Amino acid sequence: MEMVILEDEQAVARRAADILESYVRPGATLGLATGSTPLGMYRDLIRRHRSSSLSFAGCRAFLLDEYVGLPSGHEQSYRETIRREFTREIDIADDQVLGPDGSAQDLWAAAQEYERAITDAGGVDIQVLGVGTDGHIGFNEPGSSLVSRTRLKTLHSQTVEDNARFFGSASEVPRHVLTQGLGTIVDAGHLLLLAIGPGKAQAVAALAEGPLSANCPASVLQWHPRATVVCDEAAAADLRHGEYYRAVLQAASARQLRRVAPEG
């Protein structure tokens, strides 16, 4: 796992945008996350699209997850959120941005259909991830199978509380979601997890330095040959080997080895 600890939120957004941009080309398949964490990266990419020749034409995108039971077009649905925060501001075709259908009558069939769509697209080249305070990625809450595929999950009460800020109150947050499984997520070619702020410090330490365990679903990144964690100093505060990760990064950038030989 490559640990990239940077001074602040802006530096995280810039570095994450650099990494994502390196995958953007016609035919690329991008895995997008919603939530607050990647917003700075999306804004940076929109700025690059407007001011330079960065084009997303011919790219496809898959979302990690979707709330169950919100009507399509609901402003807090993840399909609508990603459209508003990112994809309508760039030149990716709207029908090339897919998410699991949380409004389907048959949610199991919708989950299987979503898996098929990802496979038919040839898989995801790079998957952007945030992490929940309880260690979830996508909405794979603690206890999720490490080999799970897209399916229905029930949100942890901690996640409901964390996400209440997007709704009027916790009681309005849907309790169920369709989410890519941990097995689906690790099939992506590169996992790029972002974490910002002191509220994520425990989760970052657990995913990077704790045991590989369903108790911290994000620890599945340890199993992936190409996983990059980009976080700010506050989110890195509980890491035991923070000094080592900083030294590796410094030495690599001094030797300009980052792109050639990232340390897995």
The answer to whether residue 64 forms part of the interface with ligand F6R (CB under 6 A) is yes
The answer to whether residue 35 forms part of the interface with ligand F6R (CB under 6 A) is yes
In the set 3, 6, 33, 68, which binds ligand F6R (CB under 6 A)? Answer: 33
Catalytic residue check, 134: yes
**Residue span binding ligand F6R (CB under 6 A) among the ranges 2-10, 33-41, 69-77, 246-254:** 33-41
Query: Minimum CB separation from ligand F6R for residue 194, in Å?
Result: 8
Catalytic residue check, 75: no
Nearer to ligand F6R, 35 or 102 (CB): 35
Catalytic residue check, 233: no
The answer to whether residue 118 forms part of the interface with ligand F6R (CB under 6 A) is no
**Residue span binding ligand F6R (CB under 6 A) among the ranges 16-24, 119-127, 131-139, 253-261:** 131-139
The answer to whether residue 150 forms part of the interface with ligand F6R (CB under 6 A) is no
DSSP the chain: -EEEEESSHHHHHHHHHHHHHTT-STT-EEEE--SSTTHHHHHHHHHHHHHSS---TT-EEEESEEESSPPTT-TTSHHHHHHHHTGGGSSS-GGGEE---TT-SSHHHHHHHHHHHHHHTT--SEEEE---TTS-BTTB-TT--TT--SEEEEPPHHHHHHHGGGSSSGGGS-SEEEE--HHHHHTSSEEEEEE-SGGGHHHHHHHHHS-SBTTBGGGGGGG-SSEEEEEETTTTTT-TTHHHHHHHHHHHHHTT-TTT----
The answer to whether residue 37 forms part of the interface with ligand F6R (CB under 6 A) is yes
* Among 9, 65, 66, 125, the one annotated catalytic: 65
Residues that bind ligand F6R (CB under 6 A): 33-37, 64-65, 78, 130-132, 136-139
Residues recognised as catalytic:
65, 134, 136, 141
